[in-house]
Amino acid sequence: MNALKIVRLTAWAAIGIITVALLYVLLNPVDREQGTGVASIGGPFRLADHNGQIVTDASLRGKPYALFFGFTHCPDVCPTSMLEITNDLNAVGNAAKDFRVYFVTVDPARDTTALLKEYTGSFDSRIIGLVPKDEAELANMARLYRAIYRKVDTPSGYTMDHTASIYLMDAQGQFFGTLDSKETPGVRQAKLKRLLERR
């Protein structure tokens, strides 16, 4: 009886491991076309910027850029990330003069183009706000970039949980890597330099 229980437990454990592995593969597809084994991140989008101009993934081709998913009422992660990328761009110098950081709001209900323009204006002029026209457009872009966001009710209203990383995209619109606040300035700036040197 004990041997039978062990066999059953082993079988269930194996099924569990296989299930987890299958879910991982399904939820984290790799870029098989390029054979890199890197999760596919990025895709087509069309959003209005804080000046009312339309920005698309196609219009950004030719120069590397960055994307960040945040919101203007964010108390800590967003202002910290924008201050850090401002400092990083200044440290990299002239090589980053045409580099752009696109701040995609995950709170379009409150973040108007005017508010985003005022908010990003507190940092570097190379940071540009983008506003999805509706929840479906935001959800689709977040899915393409594997970004997470979630509305959280608070006693005074609500806040948003969201992905804190900055996505780096190369001149061909391919995912290059991320910048993280937990990294040192030297590490982040080295990544930016490698991206800017990439052809």
CA distance to 69, 72, 146, 156, per residue, from 167 (Å): 9, 18, 10, 31
pLDDT of residue 16: 40
Rounded to two decimals, the pTM is: 0.79
Parallel, antiparallel, or unpaired for β 157-162 and 149-154? antiparallel
Is residue 31 over pLDDT 80? no
What confidence tier does 2 reach under pLDDT thresholds 50, 70, 90? low
Mean pLDDT for the chain overall: 84
Q: How many residues does this entry show for the chain?
A: 199
Domain parsing of the chain, residue ranges: 2-36, 41-197
Is residue 182 over pLDDT 70? yes
Q: Among candidates 179, 175, 174, which has minimal Cα distance to 192?
A: 179
Average pLDDT over residues 72-87: 96
41-197 has which fold? Glutaredoxin (3.40.30)
Q: For the segment 116-142, what is each residue's pLDDT rounded down to a tens digit?
A: 999 999 999 999 999 998 899 999 999
Is residue 54 over pLDDT 90? yes
Q: Which two tokens stand for residue 86?
A: 């401002």
Q: Among candidates 177, 150, 155, 151, which has minimal Cα distance to 166?
A: 177
CA distance to 9, 34, 111, 198, per residue, from 104 (Å): 47, 27, 10, 24
Q: Which two tokens stand for residue 50?
A: 């804080």
pLDDT of residue 180: 93
Is residue 15 over pLDDT 90? no
